[in-house]
Homo-oligomer: A and B are copies of this chain.
Amino acid sequence: MSGKERRRVRVGLVGAGFVARLHAEAYHHVHGLDVELTCVAAARRERATKFAAEFGVGRIESDLGAVLSAPDVDVVDLCSPSYLHADMAIAAARAGKHVIVEKPLTGFFGPAATPRREMLRQALSSADAVIDACRGGKVRLCYAENWVYAPPVQKARRLLAAAGGPILRLVGEESHSGTHAPVNKRWDTGGGGSLLGKGCHPLGAALYLKADEGVRLRGRPIRPVSVSAETANLVATETFRAAGTPFLNTVEGADVEDWGAMLVGFDDGTVAQIAAADTVLGGIRNQLVAYGARAMVICNINPNNVVQAYAPDGAVFGEEYLVEKLETKAGWSSPQPDEDWTSGYPQEIQDFMEAVALGREPLSGGALARDVTAVIYGAYLSAAEGRRVDLRPLLREDVAQVLK
């Protein structure tokens, strides 16, 4: 709308890869306030240059330090590898810049042989350091959990609120056929496997919906209290190896799980079943089902049937995008007419920009990120020790208060 009294938010991007492109696209769709993409820094400068030209970014900076010392940057958007998130976020907070961090907020990054209890300790300590630095710097911490913003999840929230009563059970999953990027397949760079990289999404949405319900029903968020989990490395099984050329993406040297499932208990006696896998053919599956006491809501983020297409062979649709991680373009598929929108990316960036411009908390912030960290690393501990893990000692109550 009219620019007369429009507020302006100036963004410095760190990273110029896949996620940075998703965000840049979303910044261009922000409405109601002016977003300026001031500068971008990336490990490979030529990539930053190309990115800047494509998305109208003002200038290239050499590194994070340069972005942080730029006076014309209000918020830093960290689209960097997971193992760099925490240090970068802390540096940004100390420089007085608002921070946007991609999921996962942080984690444990080290040898696979590290005891899971130690992993959990380090991951929580790292999350706390980020949160405390942001508080200390009086800057917003925006946790880029797009499922919170995905239109189907928000519609579910509104329907469940209208229906009243508790959500008795949530069942969620994000799965696909795995990544080609070794960085995400090792503990030292990825901080975990399927549970962390994919499970964070349905878990984040589930924690968000239960927190929202708590505020609605009793004035404070409902929190997770326990987790029982199992993990597996399914592509390491003998029968998989014997099954011939794999259709699933496998990576040499992978040391993380490619399947995980968590049974989460909440402080109101209700439950969630969260699963994540890198061993699913047929395109990404992003689904969440809420079984309420008074209503049921199914969210088909992906796939869904808004568009159904058929090609008699795999070459017919050429370069036209169908859906993430589909092995063949032949046969029937469910092409996404606008995957970004259904996934919540523009809505997420819109919220972050408004949070920064208006001085309020984003819907998805540090409190959610920390709970996700506690549950997932709690799940790793559970799977390793073959027992239920009590989450209560692992949560920060001061953080819960801001969770909306």
Contact = CB atoms under 8 A, between A and B. Distances in A.
Interface string A1-16: 1110010100000000
Interface string A251-276: 00000000101010100111101010
B310 A246 contact: no
A352 to B, nearest CB: 15
A248 to B, nearest CB: 7
Nearest to A302: B306
Nearest to A217: B239
Number of copies: 4
Interface residues of A, number: 112
Given A1-B28, A162-B318, A307-B299, A273 B261 contact: yes
A23 to B, nearest CB: 13
A234 B168 contact: yes
Contacts of A27: 1
15 contacts: A3-B3, A155-B307, A163-B311, A217-B242, A228-B230, A239-B269, A243-B294, A247-B312, A259-B271, A300-B307, A313-B330, A314-B328, A332-B333, A341-B341, A387-B388
Interface of A: 1-3, 6, 8, 27-32, 34-37, 56, 151-152, 154-156, 158-159, 161-166, 168-169, 171, 217-218, 228-230, 232-240, 242-244, 246-248, 259, 261, 263, 265, 268-271, 273, 275, 277, 279-282, 291-301, 304-314, 316-320, 326-338, 341-342, 386-388
